[in-house]
Chains A and B, each alone.
Chain A
Amino acid sequence: MDILSPTSLDEVRDIIRNCLSDETSLSLRGAGTKSSLGNPVVADAQMQLSGMSGIITYEPEELILVARAGTELTEIEALLEAHNQMLSFEPFHPEILYGGTSSGTIGGMVGAGLSGPRRIASGGVRDYLLGFNAVSGRGDIFQSGSRVMKNVTGYDLSKLMAGSFGTLAIMDEITIKVLPAPETSVSLVVSCSDLASAQAACSQAFASAHEPTAACILPRDIAANVNLGGDAFAAIIRLEGVEVSVANRLTEMQNLLGPIGELHSLTQELSANLWRQVRDAAFFNETHEQIWKLSVAPTACVGIVNKIKTSIDASYFMDWAGGLIWLAGAGERLGADIRDVMASNGGGHATLMRASDDRRQNISVFQPQAPALMSLHTRIRRAFDPKQLLNPGRMGA
């Protein structure tokens, strides 16, 4: 297969115009870390984007960073850390789920739109992508958004790019809003007798004025594996910020959640390690045939998981106070069953995060949308890529 390795947006445009004339479809590749996420792509050639890399601008006082799409995520995270700043949405790192040693590129991060634990408190990738420039599947260079925090000029195409899996356009310069990193971080573990009380602990934490920045739920087996309490569900609440405030809020949170179950807190280091595991779904391993991610109303997770567990042998844990269910299992019916149960429990969407090509060929990796909405999505894709040249089929028609 041809591999095209442009180094500039002009070269990308020229390639796309060539591809348009001979209808050559392209699979897009940054570091290739998430190439097995999404519906399998069959394309005539591959465009390798790692040649378009480098941090262009970083202005800590302006809270912005501009990097080219092929820049390694770890390079950006290291730079921010050196300035006590961060990508607030805690982007998913793919090594554990998909293998390899790279954490992927910033372009791949935006394309996949996968956000970590802080998503529920302060937004996801979509909320921090301020602007970009790109080449559409029409072979036109265009830009959208800006480098400032507050902008409503024209349609917010950044939102469409985040999570579009390279099906709309090929980005070059990506502008991201960054935030100061919290001075300190602790986690409170609440040992709960069942899933419902663990979820209730998370909801209570977020309904309080104590400003948690993350809340996850680990079932008995996983909680035991990571030494978080004996035979109990663990609801884990993270508190971050100025030291005196965190200490104060930890006490308040202990008072609030004490009635639900036994409490203990994690040191900064254990806490950081745990949230990385939650972010990357590190509790699952190679033996799991399929790994699913369900986005649901937080309180709905209890009914959904309990229902699924009655008929399926599945392993699971939750992030986002219960609103994000990670679920691992096996079998041809698993996906359909998950989506059925979800639909009858308030709805949401389920994505098949990891499975063999074969399996992904036979089920829609992304949540099927209602027909009218599906048709709108197709029209939007065609508005950017009328000949379906870019990552054809990876995400819907």
Chain B
Amino acid sequence: MSVPAADQDILARRSEIAKGLKSIIPNHLVIDDDSSMRAFDADGLSAYRQMPLLVVLPETTEQVAAILKWCQTEQVKVVPRGAGTSLSGGATPLGDGILLGLGKFNKILEVDYDNRCVVAQPGVTNLGITHEVQDDGFYYAPDPSSQIACSIGGNVAENSGGVHCLKYGLTTNNLLGIEMVTMDGEILRIGGKHLDAGDLDVLGVMTGSEGLLGVVTEVTVRILRKPATQRAMLVGFDTVQEAGTAVSSVIAAGIIPAGMEMMDGPAINAAEDFAAAGYPRDADALLIIELDGPEVEVDALLERVEAIMKSEGATSIRVSTSEEERNQFWAGRKSAFPAVGRISPDYLCMDGTIPRKALPEMLTRMAGMSQKYGLRVANVFHAGDGNLHPLILFDANAPGEWERAEAFGADILRNCVALGGVLTGEHGVGIEKRDLMGEMFSEDDLKQQQRVKCAFDPDHLLNPGKVFPVLHRCAELGRLHVHKGQMPHPELPRF
């Protein structure tokens, strides 16, 4: 994966650009010394490091607007950054672009229980929103595994998910409104405490746009009442195929659990070594099924799910009987990444989604690829919605292993698309999957997406080099080719 070559003219103007920015925002908000900038040289995709041209840390929406407007005029690129936890390189800096950090936007502005929403600045952490309202019995539903650190603004940019989105949706389904700034410095308010915005759904297209369309400076999110009861079930199977069928059977029975996770043998053992969660080591597949809601409902559904699991050939079933035990069940799954980190010097976490029915086929193919590339793989899945997180184990110090791991990962994602799925379920495209976009989209598909980009940012100044493998100039994208008299179907009736 390559990062675009830096524009030498911009590099040469660095001190002038710093001076320009200091003329519009207070000096201390412009960071230009290498040691302070070092903290911003990568996001969660830490294999890619790059010092930004400069870092700016604005404190107000007006400052963000002034910075963007100035950069538009001066044709300087901007990379927005929340907490920098992106796993796809969404916030990887550009050497010839300023990094716009939103960390100082860290306040919760309003809690409104009657309308069940929270208004917050984008730098507030995902978990920070739940912390603000949990004493009153509420929570914010999307729960990406980085929720202790990741920012709510970053969640909007990436349309973050989590283990509970099977029932509660992704960020896009829980976001009511935003304030945002476009590259030309316009401040826009979209949505709010009401539903929908009354014209084109700009809120919807902003969510998951990976920082390419605008900078979010305020969010309004839906909060939910905490369910009365949450209980989890651990189910072991001899084969991943059986476990996959069991997942489909639960859905077919009309039950949508709050979460339905699967781990394969290597992941089970790594997690058990690390967290001693009580997982069955002899199982080749483990399901963690969580049900939530009123106690009588959870009891009734647990009974039904247990019956389904038995008829699908479960080899072990345990149901949590206390909150402590439920947390213990989850401890293994939630520590799967660090657990795998202990059995391998390095790992690469992939994120494709496939139709659930394709799971057995995908796992067969993955075993074949594992042999081909000579690298081990451990699998954790959000099985309920077909979202895979294969962890490819490698040693970055062993010559050629990093390249093989990357090729293995790309192969997995190609297979996801071939089986009717997608390149990324929740981590985003960023730079990591940028060059694979052609696997899923035609040139025309990608051009149409880029025309939307042009409507927001015609000079490609906001987070360029992410998401799209080839950047077309907006003037070129806007050109119409009218083929008068050369129609494939000139005979088409017009009656």
Interface residues of A (CB under 8 A from B): 2-4, 6, 10-11, 14-15, 17-18, 20-22, 45, 59-63, 84-85, 113, 119-120, 123-124, 126-127, 136, 138, 140-144, 146-160, 162-164, 168, 179-181, 183, 200, 203, 206-211, 241-242, 244-245, 248-249, 252, 295-300, 320, 323-324, 346-351, 366-367, 369-370, 372-373, 376-377, 379-384, 386-387, 395-396
A382 contacts across to B, CB distance below 8 A: 455
Given contacts A142-B445, A380-B455, contact A148 B385 (CB under 8 A): yes
How distant is B262 from chain A, measured CB to nearest CB, in Å?
A: 14
CA distance A138 to B297 in the complex (A): 52
Taking CB as reference atom, which chain B residue is nearest A154? B449
Q: Which 10 residue pairs are nearest across A and B when measured between Cβ atoms?
A: A159-B204, A349-B198, A245-B297, A180-B254, A297-B193, A21-B484, A367-B198, A379-B455, A149-B385, A383-B451
Cβ of B372 under 8 Å from chain A: no
Q: Is the CB of A127 within 8 A of B201?
A: no
Cβ of B349 under 8 Å from chain A: no
Instruction: Indicate which residue in A144, A146, A154 contacts B421 across the interface (CB closer than 8 Å).
Output: A146
Q: Is the CB of B172 within 8 A of A156?
A: yes
Instruction: Indicate which residue in A2, A158, A323 contacts B494 across the interface (CB closer than 8 Å).
Output: A2
Instruction: Indicate which residue in A183, A207, A320 contacts B254 across the interface (CB closer than 8 Å).
Output: A183
Instruction: Indicate which residue in B252, B297, B421 contacts A241 across the interface (CB closer than 8 Å).
Output: B297
Interface residues of B (CB under 8 A from A): 112-116, 137-138, 158-159, 161, 165-166, 169-170, 172-173, 182, 186-190, 192-205, 207-209, 213, 225-228, 248-249, 251-252, 254-256, 293-294, 296-297, 300-301, 353-357, 382, 385-387, 420-429, 433, 437, 440-442, 444-449, 451-456, 467, 478, 480, 482-485, 487-489, 492, 494-495
A395 contacts across to B, CB distance below 8 A: 199-200
B193 contacts across to A, CB distance below 8 A: 296-298, 300, 346
Taking CB as reference atom, which chain B residue is nearest A128? B173
CA distance A323 to B177 in the complex (A): 15
Name 18 A/B residue pairs within 8 A (Cβ), A-sorted. A2-B494, A18-B492, A61-B249, A61-B357, A62-B251, A127-B172, A144-B445, A148-B425, A149-B166, A150-B170, A152-B158, A153-B423, A164-B201, A207-B114, A208-B225, A348-B194, A377-B199, A395-B199
A208 contacts across to B, CB distance below 8 A: 225
Instruction: Indicate which residue in A61, A203, A381, A387 contacts B252 across the interface (CB closer than 8 Å).
Output: A61
Instruction: Indicate which residue in A124, A156, A209, A366 contacts B205 across the interface (CB closer than 8 Å).
Output: A156
A299 contacts across to B, CB distance below 8 A: 114-115
Q: Is the CB of B202 within 8 A of A373?
A: yes
Taking CB as reference atom, which chain B residue is nearest A382? B455
Q: Is the CB of A383 within 8 A of B159?
A: no
Q: Is the CB of A369 within 8 A of B199?
A: yes
How distant is B31 from chain A, measured CB to nearest CB, in Å?
A: 30
Q: Is the CB of A148 within 8 A of B386?
A: yes
Q: Is the CB of B195 within 8 A of A11?
A: no
B161 contacts across to A, CB distance below 8 A: 150, 152
Taking CB as reference atom, which chain B residue is nearest A24? B494
CA distance A164 to B356 in the complex (A): 31
Given contacts A21-B482, A149-B166, contact A124 B195 (CB under 8 A): yes
How distant is A102 from chain B, measured CB to nearest CB, in Å?
A: 23
B199 contacts across to A, CB distance below 8 A: 349, 366-367, 369, 373, 377, 395-396
Instruction: Indicate which residue in A147, A154, A376 contacts B456 across the interface (CB closer than 8 Å).
Output: A376
How distant is A48 from chain B, measured CB to nearest CB, in Å?
A: 11
Given contacts A14-B487, A155-B208, A376-B456, contact A140 B444 (CB under 8 A): yes
CA distance A163 to B198 in the complex (A): 9
Q: Is the CB of B386 within 8 A of A149?
A: yes
Q: Is the CB of A347 within 8 A of B194?
A: yes
Give the residue among B187, B440, B455, B467 with the most A Cβ atoms within 10 A: B455
Given contacts A18-B487, A148-B385, contact A155 B444 (CB under 8 A): no
